[in-house]
Structure 1
Amino acid sequence: MTDLFRSYQLGDLNLPNRLVMAPMTRVRAAAGGLATPSMAAYYAQRATAGLIVSEGVQPSLIGQSNPGTPGLHTDEQVAAWRPVTSAVHANGGRIFAQIMHGGRVSHPDTTGRQPVGPSAVPALGDVFTPTGPQPAPLPRALETSEVGEHTQAYASAARRAVDAGFDGVELHGANGYLISQFLSTNANLRTDVYGGSVANRIRFAVEAVSATVEAVGAERTAIRLSPGGGFWGVEETDALELNTALLAELARLEVAYVHLEATAGEEVLLDLRRAWPGTLIMNPVFPMGPKQTGRAEADHWLGLGADLIGFGRAFIANPDLVERLRSNLPIAPVDESTYYQGGDAGYLTYPAYQYTA
């Protein structure tokens, strides 16, 4: 079985181990979507991960989902990210930016604009706003002529990411956000070339990835998917057929990796592993569920053919997670109340393991 601490060659990047710090929203950006010195310290503390994938970064103002998240659509944002990527690289790490367009999971109080989506169908649940949670609003359905603007937003953000020093980008195609909405059977009720059949519903994802590959190269382009996930009310009633078709198109584009979440049964995920010939990052447990990924779950999926393993919450409270797992040290618990509160508490205040004499 593959060792979690064995190196892995990802394109031009030599990863010293198979641990990936998964993308996690922390809402610590400054006004204007600017990265901060605290964000540089946070990611640098975790640079022993084989690969870091940043929190979701909006590719445009209308693509912003939550207040307090960073962007990659202005020159000022690019400049603010450079100290972050430099700090990670100085500590020996590698970092991809996750590009996240929220689509219908947004609010006018956050962006000043009506959210957009594939269809005029609101998300289920409350969305975050500057004044607290509010019901998800009705999005405006994109006209066919507008869709290209939003696929190109991913490519534009990818160019800015590379300019900011990121080693690559991961398009957020999971968890009920814009790409996921287009893949869906209930958020996407379109009757044009972007809706209806599987071939049509994967079209937006394929065009967004293709544009990004053209912008920064396939070796710097990746995507995250949550087959059948159900986030924000999104459904994929044909998850295996849909994602198998999408993986075939992604294989043709030769992207750097596919990042799968354990949002479907293991047999479905194994079928998708067999359908994907390239590098696979696997998140072994359901996102935000009661269980966190540990060594046993990582070893299980490495044995099933995953190349890399995504760890989320464990990296929040354990900046030295790689060493803790390597040396079989205790994993510190995370304080969930500090996930999104802002500030350095629960962000920079988790220490490395303290050895005692």
Structure 2
Amino acid sequence: MKALLSRAAGGPETLELGEIDAPDVSPGHLLVRVRACAINFPDVLIIEDKYQFKPPRPFAPGGEIAGEVIAVGAGVEGWSVGDRVIGATGWNGLAEQALLPAANAFLLPDNRDFAEGSALLMTYATAIHALVDRGAIKPKELMIVLGAGGGVGLAAVEIGKALGAWVLACASSEEKCTAARAAGADASLKYPAGPLDPAAQKQIAKDLKDIAGPNGAQLVFDPVGGDYAEPALRALGWEGRYLVVGFPAGIPSIPLNLTLLKSCDIRGVFWGAFAGREPERNRGHVAELFRLWDDGKIAPKVSATYPLERAGEAIAALGARSAIGKLVVTIP
């Protein structure tokens, strides 16, 4: 079968389209004919050996797939050959066939296409876990979303609105801010592309405070990190909650005196570990996502699709933080 392979650590330009043996179905797994694979920030890291998992080479990046079940492993119940499925593989999704742990698999309704289905889990499941479990979001709270034009940022905007929050979307271009407002954000703020000097950080903090008002924000959703973290923390109000989701702009150093002065919390969000440790709660969240999707309150935004041989371009675009919403590789 064809797969886009990482044979040595490096950027997207090191990936090679090649032929490898199709995997055999193993106990507890589904063998899936991959129709679509969404690109996520871990794909940028894993091929450079900068992710927390380092699979043996050669491997294919791509951890979020949609497709059709072509074989069911021993011990797996509730699945049949031909079922439409979405799920998280970790890696090896950029291939014509992939093994998917049955515990990570969800039925894709017939009225949803594969590209949209592949774009649901990692962003929306992360966002709903972050806002509900870690953020304890309440109706009418003011929430700041950094990186609001990206896949997980747009998901946070939509889910925040669905749960009754007032959402301030922040992004590095007017195009991304427009996308966030179209997704339901109540207001938007365009901040400069980093890295940021102290004066720029101070200006972002002032702009956020001016919009949030004297009481500040109750929640910050931060999938960006870097120089943007401290300004957003400064805009947080008394007993607010700061959600740490990711670091494409770098791992920030936070002055902890701010948490004392605001009596606020900094809370980590690791959806993959949560899904593994508490699979039933995660399944409940995914069921809620499908309900919100049916009600028109969320809709995965796939801004571009790529063929398998050009999947490296999608990873490069995500690494450059130029993408709006999700980028998906389709395999006809």
**TM-score by structure 1 length?**
0.28
Higher-strand-fraction structure: 2
Relative CO higher for 1 or 2, CA cutoff 8 Å, sep ≥ 6? 2
